[in-house]
Amino acid sequence: MKKALLATTALLMTAAGASAEISLSGFGRFGLDHNSGAAAGTAKTQINMRMRVNIDGSVETDSGVKFGGRIRLQYNDGDTAAALSPAMLYAAFSGVRFEIGNANTAYDSAALMYNSEIGYLDRGFGDPNGNYYSFSTGAYSGAETNRMGMMVAYSAGAFNVRLSYVTPDQTVSTLPAGTSEEVGISADYNFGQFTVSAAYADNAAGVSGESVAFLGAEYAVSSAANVGLLWFEYNALAAASDSTRVTLYGNYKVNAYTIKGYVATDDQAGLATDVAYGLGVDYDLGGARVAGDIHRNYANDTIVGLGVRFDF
Protein backbone atom coordinates (compact mmCIF):
# COMPACT_ATOMS: atom_id res chain seq x y z
CA MET A 1 0.00 0.00 0.00
CA LYS A 2 1.28 3.43 -0.89
CA LYS A 3 1.99 5.68 2.07
CA ALA A 4 1.93 9.46 1.91
CA LEU A 5 5.24 11.02 2.83
CA LEU A 6 5.41 13.31 5.85
CA ALA A 7 6.10 16.98 5.41
CA THR A 8 9.41 16.33 7.14
CA THR A 9 10.75 14.48 4.08
CA ALA A 10 14.29 15.66 3.40
CA LEU A 11 15.42 16.06 -0.21
CA LEU A 12 19.06 16.76 -0.91
CA MET A 13 20.55 17.46 -4.33
CA THR A 14 24.21 16.81 -4.92
CA ALA A 15 26.35 18.76 -7.32
CA ALA A 16 26.48 15.74 -9.61
CA GLY A 17 22.70 15.64 -9.85
CA ALA A 18 22.00 12.51 -7.78
CA SER A 19 19.17 12.89 -5.25
CA ALA A 20 18.87 11.52 -1.73
CA GLU A 21 15.62 11.22 0.19
CA ILE A 22 14.60 10.33 3.74
CA SER A 23 10.91 9.71 4.40
CA LEU A 24 8.59 8.52 7.15
CA SER A 25 5.38 6.53 6.71
CA GLY A 26 3.24 4.23 8.79
CA PHE A 27 -0.04 3.97 10.63
CA GLY A 28 -1.72 4.12 14.01
CA ARG A 29 -4.73 2.19 15.26
CA PHE A 30 -6.69 1.88 18.49
CA GLY A 31 -9.97 0.40 19.63
CA LEU A 32 -11.80 -2.26 21.60
CA ASP A 33 -11.20 -5.97 21.08
CA HIS A 34 -13.49 -8.67 22.55
CA ASN A 35 -12.86 -12.43 22.65
CA SER A 36 -15.57 -14.63 24.16
CA GLY A 37 -13.04 -17.46 24.43
CA ALA A 38 -10.45 -15.61 26.51
CA ALA A 39 -8.63 -17.85 28.99
CA ALA A 40 -9.76 -17.91 32.61
CA GLY A 41 -8.42 -14.89 34.46
CA THR A 42 -7.97 -12.89 31.24
CA ALA A 43 -10.24 -9.94 30.46
CA LYS A 44 -12.52 -10.71 27.53
CA THR A 45 -12.57 -7.08 26.37
CA GLN A 46 -9.36 -5.07 26.09
CA ILE A 47 -8.02 -1.97 24.35
CA ASN A 48 -5.81 -2.75 21.37
CA MET A 49 -3.38 -0.18 20.00
CA ARG A 50 -0.39 -0.01 17.65
CA MET A 51 1.87 2.72 16.29
CA ARG A 52 4.17 1.93 13.36
CA VAL A 53 6.74 4.22 11.73
CA ASN A 54 8.76 3.15 8.69
CA ILE A 55 12.00 5.06 8.14
CA ASP A 56 13.12 4.92 4.51
CA GLY A 57 16.25 6.34 2.96
CA SER A 58 17.20 6.24 -0.71
CA VAL A 59 19.48 7.75 -3.30
CA GLU A 60 19.26 7.61 -7.09
CA THR A 61 22.50 7.61 -9.03
CA ASP A 62 23.13 9.58 -12.21
CA SER A 63 22.69 6.32 -14.15
CA GLY A 64 19.20 5.78 -12.72
CA VAL A 65 19.95 3.01 -10.22
CA LYS A 66 18.11 3.51 -6.93
CA PHE A 67 19.71 2.36 -3.66
CA GLY A 68 17.82 2.46 -0.40
CA GLY A 69 16.86 0.85 2.86
CA ARG A 70 14.25 0.63 5.59
CA ILE A 71 14.08 0.20 9.34
CA ARG A 72 10.84 0.11 11.32
CA LEU A 73 9.76 1.30 14.75
CA GLN A 74 6.64 -0.26 16.24
CA TYR A 75 4.83 -0.22 19.57
CA ASN A 76 1.95 -2.50 20.55
CA ASP A 77 -0.04 -2.32 23.77
CA GLY A 78 1.66 -4.49 26.37
CA ASP A 79 5.17 -3.90 25.00
CA THR A 80 7.72 -2.48 27.42
CA ALA A 81 9.09 -0.23 24.66
CA ALA A 82 8.90 0.33 20.92
CA ALA A 83 10.66 -2.37 18.88
CA LEU A 84 13.28 -1.56 16.24
CA SER A 85 13.53 -3.86 13.23
CA PRO A 86 16.72 -5.11 11.56
CA ALA A 87 17.54 -3.19 8.39
CA MET A 88 16.56 -4.03 4.83
CA LEU A 89 18.68 -2.63 1.99
CA TYR A 90 17.85 -2.68 -1.71
CA ALA A 91 18.87 -1.73 -5.24
CA ALA A 92 16.35 -1.15 -8.02
CA PHE A 93 16.60 -0.46 -11.75
CA SER A 94 14.30 -0.85 -14.73
CA GLY A 95 11.68 -3.06 -13.06
CA VAL A 96 14.17 -5.21 -11.12
CA ARG A 97 14.52 -4.86 -7.34
CA PHE A 98 17.01 -6.72 -5.14
CA GLU A 99 16.63 -6.71 -1.34
CA ILE A 100 19.07 -7.99 1.28
CA GLY A 101 19.11 -8.26 5.06
CA ASN A 102 15.68 -8.15 6.67
CA ALA A 103 14.25 -8.67 3.20
CA ASN A 104 10.64 -9.13 2.26
CA THR A 105 9.91 -12.66 1.06
CA ALA A 106 8.30 -13.95 -2.10
CA TYR A 107 5.57 -15.83 -0.26
CA ASP A 108 4.51 -12.99 2.04
CA SER A 109 4.58 -10.48 -0.85
CA ALA A 110 2.14 -12.35 -3.10
CA ALA A 111 -0.89 -10.34 -4.21
CA LEU A 112 -4.38 -11.11 -2.79
CA MET A 113 -3.07 -13.19 0.13
CA TYR A 114 -4.49 -10.91 2.83
CA ASN A 115 -7.47 -9.48 0.95
CA SER A 116 -10.07 -11.21 3.13
CA GLU A 117 -9.01 -9.27 6.25
CA ILE A 118 -11.54 -6.97 7.93
CA GLY A 119 -11.77 -4.49 10.81
CA TYR A 120 -9.42 -1.86 12.19
CA LEU A 121 -7.00 -4.68 13.07
CA ASP A 122 -7.03 -6.03 9.49
CA ARG A 123 -7.59 -9.59 10.63
CA GLY A 124 -9.51 -12.68 9.64
CA PHE A 125 -9.58 -16.44 10.01
CA GLY A 126 -9.28 -16.87 6.28
CA ASP A 127 -5.66 -15.66 6.38
CA PRO A 128 -2.64 -17.81 5.40
CA ASN A 129 -2.06 -20.90 7.54
CA GLY A 130 1.30 -22.28 8.67
CA ASN A 131 4.50 -20.36 9.35
CA TYR A 132 6.82 -18.61 6.91
CA TYR A 133 9.39 -15.83 6.87
CA SER A 134 8.51 -12.20 6.19
CA PHE A 135 9.94 -8.77 6.95
CA SER A 136 10.64 -8.86 10.72
CA THR A 137 9.11 -5.90 12.56
CA GLY A 138 11.09 -6.59 15.75
CA ALA A 139 14.52 -7.97 16.53
CA TYR A 140 15.35 -11.50 15.37
CA SER A 141 15.02 -14.25 17.97
CA GLY A 142 18.19 -15.36 19.74
CA ALA A 143 18.56 -18.43 17.53
CA GLU A 144 18.35 -16.26 14.41
CA THR A 145 20.55 -13.30 15.34
CA ASN A 146 22.58 -13.96 12.18
CA ARG A 147 19.58 -14.45 9.90
CA MET A 148 20.10 -13.17 6.35
CA GLY A 149 17.49 -12.82 3.63
CA MET A 150 17.51 -11.95 -0.06
CA MET A 151 14.73 -11.30 -2.54
CA VAL A 152 14.76 -10.40 -6.21
CA ALA A 153 11.56 -9.09 -7.78
CA TYR A 154 10.69 -8.18 -11.35
CA SER A 155 7.71 -6.10 -12.48
CA ALA A 156 6.54 -5.56 -16.05
CA GLY A 157 3.22 -3.80 -16.36
CA ALA A 158 0.58 -5.91 -14.60
CA PHE A 159 2.91 -8.90 -14.11
CA ASN A 160 5.08 -9.44 -11.02
CA VAL A 161 7.38 -12.31 -10.07
CA ARG A 162 9.57 -12.78 -6.98
CA LEU A 163 12.20 -15.22 -5.71
CA SER A 164 13.51 -15.17 -2.13
CA TYR A 165 16.00 -16.97 0.10
CA VAL A 166 16.38 -16.78 3.89
CA THR A 167 18.97 -18.55 6.00
CA PRO A 168 18.39 -18.63 9.77
CA ASP A 169 22.14 -18.30 10.39
CA GLN A 170 24.59 -17.24 7.68
CA THR A 171 27.64 -17.66 9.95
CA VAL A 172 27.62 -21.46 10.18
CA SER A 173 28.65 -23.92 7.50
CA THR A 174 25.99 -26.41 8.59
CA LEU A 175 22.65 -25.46 10.10
CA PRO A 176 21.36 -27.37 13.16
CA ALA A 177 19.35 -30.52 12.59
CA GLY A 178 15.78 -29.72 11.60
CA THR A 179 16.72 -26.26 10.33
CA SER A 180 17.08 -25.28 6.67
CA GLU A 181 17.07 -22.26 4.39
CA GLU A 182 13.64 -21.12 3.22
CA VAL A 183 13.28 -20.69 -0.54
CA GLY A 184 10.16 -19.02 -1.91
CA ILE A 185 8.65 -18.00 -5.23
CA SER A 186 5.53 -16.05 -6.15
CA ALA A 187 3.89 -14.43 -9.16
CA ASP A 188 0.75 -12.43 -9.83
CA TYR A 189 -0.94 -10.92 -12.86
CA ASN A 190 -3.85 -8.55 -13.47
CA PHE A 191 -5.85 -8.68 -16.68
CA GLY A 192 -8.98 -6.61 -16.98
CA GLN A 193 -11.28 -7.35 -14.07
CA PHE A 194 -9.32 -10.42 -12.96
CA THR A 195 -6.25 -10.77 -10.73
CA VAL A 196 -4.55 -14.13 -10.17
CA SER A 197 -1.73 -14.95 -7.75
CA ALA A 198 0.35 -17.97 -6.70
CA ALA A 199 3.13 -18.57 -4.16
CA TYR A 200 5.18 -21.39 -2.63
CA ALA A 201 7.83 -21.63 0.09
CA ASP A 202 9.96 -24.69 0.88
CA ASN A 203 11.42 -25.27 4.36
CA ALA A 204 8.93 -22.64 5.50
CA ALA A 205 10.13 -20.45 8.39
CA GLY A 206 13.42 -22.38 8.33
CA VAL A 207 11.86 -25.71 9.39
CA SER A 208 13.23 -28.60 7.33
CA GLY A 209 10.53 -30.42 5.40
CA GLU A 210 7.68 -27.98 6.01
CA SER A 211 6.11 -26.04 3.16
CA VAL A 212 3.33 -23.57 2.40
CA ALA A 213 1.50 -22.94 -0.87
CA PHE A 214 -1.07 -20.42 -2.08
CA LEU A 215 -3.39 -19.84 -5.04
CA GLY A 216 -5.74 -16.89 -5.31
CA ALA A 217 -8.08 -15.18 -7.74
CA GLU A 218 -10.14 -12.01 -7.51
CA TYR A 219 -12.82 -10.59 -9.80
CA ALA A 220 -13.82 -6.92 -9.84
CA VAL A 221 -17.58 -7.08 -10.29
CA SER A 222 -17.65 -3.30 -10.59
CA SER A 223 -15.69 -0.28 -9.39
CA ALA A 224 -17.51 -0.67 -6.05
CA ALA A 225 -17.43 -4.44 -5.52
CA ASN A 226 -15.18 -7.47 -5.84
CA VAL A 227 -15.12 -11.13 -4.85
CA GLY A 228 -12.20 -13.49 -4.38
CA LEU A 229 -11.26 -17.08 -3.65
CA LEU A 230 -8.07 -18.09 -1.79
CA TRP A 231 -6.52 -21.54 -1.26
CA PHE A 232 -3.76 -22.20 1.27
CA GLU A 233 -1.86 -25.43 1.92
CA TYR A 234 0.37 -26.03 4.96
CA ASN A 235 2.40 -29.25 5.00
CA ALA A 236 3.78 -29.75 8.51
CA LEU A 237 6.23 -32.28 9.93
CA ALA A 238 3.45 -33.63 12.13
CA ALA A 239 0.60 -34.89 9.94
CA ALA A 240 -1.94 -33.78 12.56
CA SER A 241 -0.89 -30.18 11.93
CA ASP A 242 -1.38 -30.33 8.16
CA SER A 243 -3.96 -27.82 7.00
CA THR A 244 -5.82 -26.90 3.83
CA ARG A 245 -7.69 -23.60 4.10
CA VAL A 246 -10.10 -22.16 1.53
CA THR A 247 -11.49 -18.63 1.83
CA LEU A 248 -14.28 -16.93 -0.10
CA TYR A 249 -14.50 -13.18 0.43
CA GLY A 250 -16.07 -10.06 -0.98
CA ASN A 251 -16.61 -6.37 -0.35
CA TYR A 252 -18.95 -3.66 -1.51
CA LYS A 253 -18.53 0.11 -1.28
CA VAL A 254 -21.46 2.50 -1.04
CA ASN A 255 -20.70 6.17 -0.38
CA ALA A 256 -18.34 6.35 2.63
CA TYR A 257 -19.11 2.79 3.74
CA THR A 258 -17.38 -0.44 2.72
CA ILE A 259 -19.02 -3.72 3.71
CA LYS A 260 -16.68 -6.72 3.87
CA GLY A 261 -17.15 -10.40 4.61
CA TYR A 262 -15.57 -13.84 4.31
CA VAL A 263 -16.24 -17.53 4.91
CA ALA A 264 -13.31 -19.93 5.40
CA THR A 265 -12.88 -23.66 5.89
CA ASP A 266 -9.90 -25.45 7.47
CA ASP A 267 -9.44 -29.23 7.69
CA GLN A 268 -6.73 -29.27 10.39
CA ALA A 269 -7.28 -32.02 12.96
CA GLY A 270 -8.57 -31.05 16.39
CA LEU A 271 -10.50 -27.91 15.48
CA ALA A 272 -13.86 -27.40 17.20
CA THR A 273 -15.35 -26.45 13.84
CA ASP A 274 -13.93 -26.42 10.32
CA VAL A 275 -15.80 -23.24 9.31
CA ALA A 276 -14.98 -19.65 10.31
CA TYR A 277 -16.59 -16.46 9.07
CA GLY A 278 -16.57 -12.72 9.60
CA LEU A 279 -18.37 -9.53 8.67
CA GLY A 280 -17.01 -5.99 8.83
CA VAL A 281 -17.95 -2.41 8.00
CA ASP A 282 -15.56 0.51 7.39
CA TYR A 283 -16.52 4.18 7.39
CA ASP A 284 -14.10 6.43 5.51
CA LEU A 285 -13.25 9.63 7.40
CA GLY A 286 -10.85 10.85 4.72
CA GLY A 287 -7.32 9.92 5.86
CA ALA A 288 -8.66 7.55 8.52
CA ARG A 289 -11.40 4.98 8.93
CA VAL A 290 -13.69 3.74 11.67
CA ALA A 291 -14.07 -0.03 11.40
CA GLY A 292 -16.07 -2.72 13.13
CA ASP A 293 -15.76 -6.48 12.71
CA ILE A 294 -17.30 -9.65 14.13
CA HIS A 295 -16.03 -13.21 13.60
CA ARG A 296 -16.63 -16.77 14.67
CA ASN A 297 -13.33 -18.64 14.75
CA TYR A 298 -12.40 -22.33 14.54
CA ALA A 299 -12.78 -22.66 18.32
CA ASN A 300 -16.40 -21.42 18.10
CA ASP A 301 -15.39 -18.21 19.88
CA THR A 302 -16.95 -14.86 19.01
CA ILE A 303 -14.41 -12.14 18.21
CA VAL A 304 -15.55 -8.50 17.99
CA GLY A 305 -13.61 -5.30 17.29
CA LEU A 306 -14.42 -1.60 16.96
CA GLY A 307 -11.76 1.03 16.41
CA VAL A 308 -10.00 3.59 14.24
CA ARG A 309 -7.03 3.31 11.88
CA PHE A 310 -5.16 6.16 10.22
CA ASP A 311 -2.31 5.94 7.71
CA PHE A 312 0.37 8.53 7.00
Other C-beta atoms lying within 10 Å of the C-beta of residue 287:
9
Identify the band that residue 203 occupies on the pLDDT scale cut at 50, 70 and 90: very high
Report whether pLDDT(132) > 70.
Answer: yes
Among 246, 300, 247, CA closest to 273: 300
**Range 91-102 average pLDDT:** 98
d(CA 83, CA 240): 34
**Using one digit for the tens of pLDDT, what is the confidence trace for 4-55?**
444 344 444 443 456 789 999 999 999 999 999 999 999 999 999 999 999 9
Residue 105 · residue 200 · CB < 8 Å = no
CA atoms within 13 A on the CB side of 257: 6
**Using one digit for the tens of pLDDT, what is the confidence trace for 286-309?**
999 999 999 999 999 999 999 999
Q: Please give the domain boundaries of the chain with CATH numbers for all domains.
A: 1-24+55-74 (no CATH), 85-311 (2.40.160.10)
**Using one digit for the tens of pLDDT, what is the confidence trace for 221-268?**
999 999 999 999 999 999 999 999 999 999 999 999 999 999 999 999
d(CA 26, CA 52): 5
**Residue 300: its pLDDT value, please?**
98
**Residue 31: its pLDDT value, please?**
99
**Range 107-126 average pLDDT:** 98
d(CA 274, CA 219): 26
d(CA 254, CA 262): 18
Identify the band that residue 2 occupies on the pLDDT scale cut at 50, 70 and 90: very low
Is pTM beyond 0.95? Reply is no
For the chain, percent of residues with pLDDT exceeding 90: 93
Mean pLDDT, the chain, whole residue set: 95
**Range 190-199 average pLDDT:** 98
Q: How far is CA 191 from CA 2, 197, 220, 232, 244, in A?
A: 21, 12, 11, 23, 27
Report whether pLDDT(1) > 60.
Answer: no
